[in-house]
Chain A
């Protein structure tokens, strides 16, 4: 039996804007295991990004606990969260968030510079089939290519968890498949625990576990035995 990577207990997140309170997450409890490929589903505004951000140490919870292995993230200080991100987490953002003044290779190097056991930036870019675009600037890449650079950047440091917020949101089907294949490959070959937010229910077919959120609550957790490869997904 694989060990737990994330253990979430009674997690809540409240945004206060003057008088108004927005309950982005309410009493979320959840366990995610080593090496799993997890898909987060749910309508817009259901709290998916909020949960992912808290898991990745980008945001802090209002109440409840989150454990990453033996570390309690909900108690960690800013400096420890930075250290946690630096050592264990790879991020893939919905809007890519590449540094526009750096080439693809340099954007990846940005991470390999500060990681302990990274793969060479070129290898990471090869994993996402971008070896021929290494010296292009983000402005010279298409959206899908930029997203793949972002994935290469995330996996280059061999993170133990990979967090992706709508990685295919802005992409067409075939590009989306290439991106998902890159994620699946990292998950299989490196054993990276991967959490993917998506609006596309079809992607759930390639997951080990599917978590559905609605209105800040976990409404369903489905564990699956058979994973489809991205090519076989029915969009």
Chain B
């Protein structure tokens, strides 16, 4: 095979600078690996989700209500655009699971005994469908079954409408409604404490006195139907029956969480890799600029021999592209591997019948094109400069570099630097742009690392705010129905209970113009000791005596400010509709919340000291409480802080550990790549000078000091810059994570900065040592012989 001479030159030149080329390729590879990992997971999840939704006929609109007669179903089906309707009975119950102290919560959903549901069909993993004449048979969610090591035939005890029943699991199931299975009112899934059970419609209706009626409905719409219009019609139909307001699929909690995760994957798959590619492009630029300076006579010769500008530009662009492609190859392999590991994490999080890792050609092609493009951009200026050299001028060797005294060398300081110090300083100040670029490159590594650590800080701050400042109770109890004040005393007489604070939440729809949200309006006591309103910085906020206190996020969603009026449509009891003024907004960590003074709320509801739940402070030594709560029929659920905190930390840890690990690795790669490259470039620029010094009798240690001193200075300068850039990145990413469910506080602990700095100094030291070894091997004769 005939290989054109220029191609040979290309390959041999690359081989000559293989260390540098590899360092650059690794930075590229890190970015590519990130992109491939995130985007392939995005792709896998998206496809799985779509196929699953389609197969199981996941609903387009959902609505809950108190109770409506079954004949209403015909009216709903008649709404234009509705293609399928499924009415159901759903209920939350307390479960008594063998081997568990605290009560678990069961979410019961009715299914027709004789057919599959037309909307939200369940996926039967094992076992069989419920039998019509056996009212105690249920299908149980796979996650719950697995968490407890159950099989078909296992039994759980549940309090259904005040009666203790023993349910037999006959089938193991999954549902598109519960891909992400989060207990109501909590932040993260806990498969041990929360299970979904599907029960025969007649059995469930009978247990809750709902025969001939339903309290939940889901629909499928024609593709052309307007979701908003259908929802308005549904709300109108359900209004007399205690409708809680229809919600579109977009706000269905499982779907919504999945979508959020997907959006995050997609943006991470772009933003983070872009940072890496930027750094790689910059490193490439520096390396190539130096290599081209060394090749001036060659470029001139090529031009003189008749090679055109285009051919020469293409030749050097190929350098950049080959390095980038090597990075792409390594990155794709790594990203593929990491991606298949990450899908394992998603398999724990999200419950799909099957979630397979899939690499799409689109991702690979896209990433490759983007990478090559950024490499070309990085190389462009160096190549352009080289090509622009008029051939005659390039015939002469590069003129001796122009040095100056550096600015720091004032008469006062100068004597203290010594020859070595002076050389270091002058070399940095001679090319301030390049020194600046190196500093920026290393800063990027600091920043990437810091962003990782900042998430741990944010998580800690979130936990502190949420569990030690805002929600200080040990146990939160929710009642099936709002109860009178006497139940407060009943609770305080339970074993181990030290204090009881009433909780009153009312389901409402807040409306401002055409904007509205359905949520729970919380009554807050001015002097509350357990549950308090806390802002982003951890300060407690007093509830205003009248009017509403809204989270700032809710203020944005409704587009209201203090002083504006909001329509409050209560969705329980007599369903009063009132106009209430917004008194203040609070910048808090949890997405959408609305508060009102407790007494004002009672007034609005025209009710006495009613409570819908309670916050308890308990004596940890007393272990009888969980058992007693399990047996109390009025209690729909009880949440223990210790358990919630544990599952919260576990979930976050699993997620963060992988991310942290990757961050450290990748930031290390960047730092190493940038420092190593900077070192190699100075080495090549100054090998002659350094060799001359050796000839003059300088020791190896002394000449390494000149080179490494420069790197050390650059690295040190990068640390503060990196901290600032890292803060900016963290702010941007935290901002992009803002959602209606929660917001991350931006907290940067001193430790995060310190760890980031330490890691970068480690990486810099490693690359410094490698260059030091190459410096020791400097061939004096060879260096001095070549004309430069």
Contact = CB atoms under 8 A, between A and B. Distances in A.
Given A95-B787, A99-B298, A101-B12, A56 B304 contact: yes
Nearest to B6: A110
Contact of A97 (B12, B298, B393): B298
B305 to A, nearest CB: 5
Interface stretch (A82-90, A195-203, A216-224): A82-90
B300 A97 contact: yes
A124 interface: no
A59 B309 contact: no
A99 B304 contact: no
B395 interface: yes
Centre residue among B9, B298, B301, B787 by max chain A CB count within 10 A: B301
Nearest to B2: A109
Interface residues of A, number: 31
Nearest to A60: B390
B297 interface: yes
A145 interface: no
Given A82-B309, A93-B395, A97-B297, A109 B390 contact: no
B5 interface: yes
Nearest to A57: B391
B395 A85 contact: no
A135 interface: no
B9 A102 contact: yes
B13 A101 contact: yes
A153 B306 CA distance: 12
A83 B393 CA distance: 19
Instruction: Kindly state the interface size class of chain B when it binds its partner.
Output: 20 to 34
B4 interface: yes
Nearest to B11: A101
A37 B605 CA distance: 113
Interface string B387-405: 0001111010000000000
A179 interface: no
Contacts of A78: 309
B395 A99 contact: no
Contacts of B300: 97
Interface string A97-135: 111111000110111011100000000000000000000
B308 A99 contact: no
Nearest to A88: B306
A91 B8 contact: no
Interface string B1-24: 000111011001100100000000
Centre residue among A56, A85, A99, A115 by max chain B CB count within 10 A: A99
A174 B392 CA distance: 30
A99 B294 CA distance: 12
A150 B2 CA distance: 22
Centre residue among B5, B297, B301 by max chain A CB count within 10 A: B5
B306 A97 contact: no
Given A59-B392, A93-B301, A95-B787, A86 B307 contact: yes
A111 B305 contact: yes
Given A79-B308, A86-B306, A59 B12 contact: no
Contacts of B303: 58, 82, 85
B120 to A, nearest CB: 67
A68 to B, nearest CB: 14
Contacts of A107: 5
Given A53-B395, A58-B391, A86-B306, A97 B301 contact: yes
A174 B739 CA distance: 84
Contacts of A115: 306
A34 to B, nearest CB: 21
Given A58-B304, A97-B298, A114-B306, A102 B392 contact: no
Interface in B23-70: none
Centre residue among B6, B305, B787 by max chain A CB count within 10 A: B305
B301 A102 contact: no
B8 A82 contact: no
A153 B307 CA distance: 14
Contacts of A89: 304, 306
Contact of A59 (B4, B307, B391): B391
A89 B12 CA distance: 28
Contacts of B13: 101
A106 B8 CA distance: 9
Interface in B392-431: 392-393, 395
A109 B7 CA distance: 12
Interface in A2-58: 53, 56, 58
Nearest to B311: A114
B5 A91 contact: no
Nearest to A84: B306
Nearest to B393: A59
Interface string A58-71: 11100000000000
A110 B297 contact: no
A31 to B, nearest CB: 23
A85 B300 CA distance: 12
A110 B300 CA distance: 14
Given A53-B392, A93-B395, A99 B9 contact: yes
B390 A59 contact: yes
A106 B5 contact: yes
Nearest to A13: B392
Contacts of B307: 82, 86, 114
A53 B390 CA distance: 11
A88 B484 CA distance: 105
B304 A87 contact: no
Nearest to A90: B305
Contacts of A97: 297-298, 300-301, 304, 395
A100 B4 CA distance: 16
Contacts of B16: 101
Contacts of A114: 305-307, 311
A93 to B, nearest CB: 7
Contact of B305 (A85, A95, A100): A85
Contacts of B5: 99, 102, 106-107, 109-110, 113
Given A91-B305, A97-B297, A99-B301, A58 B392 contact: yes
A156 to B, nearest CB: 10
Contacts of A85: 303-306
A165 B390 CA distance: 18
Nearest to B388: A78
A24 to B, nearest CB: 11
Contacts of B311: 114
11 contacts: A53-B391, A58-B304, A79-B308, A82-B303, A82-B309, A85-B304, A85-B306, A97-B300, A99-B5, A106-B9, A107-B5
Given A58-B304, A101-B12, A113-B4, 18 more contacts: A59-B390, A59-B392, A59-B393, A82-B306, A83-B306, A83-B308, A85-B303, A85-B305, A86-B307, A93-B304, A97-B298, A97-B304, A99-B302, A102-B9, A106-B8, A109-B5, A110-B305, A114-B307
Interface of A: 53, 56, 58-60, 78-79, 82-83, 85-87, 89, 91, 93, 95, 97-102, 106-107, 109-111, 113-115, 153
Q: Give 5 closest A-B pairs by Cβ, nearest first.
A: A86-B306, A59-B392, A97-B301, A101-B12, A58-B392
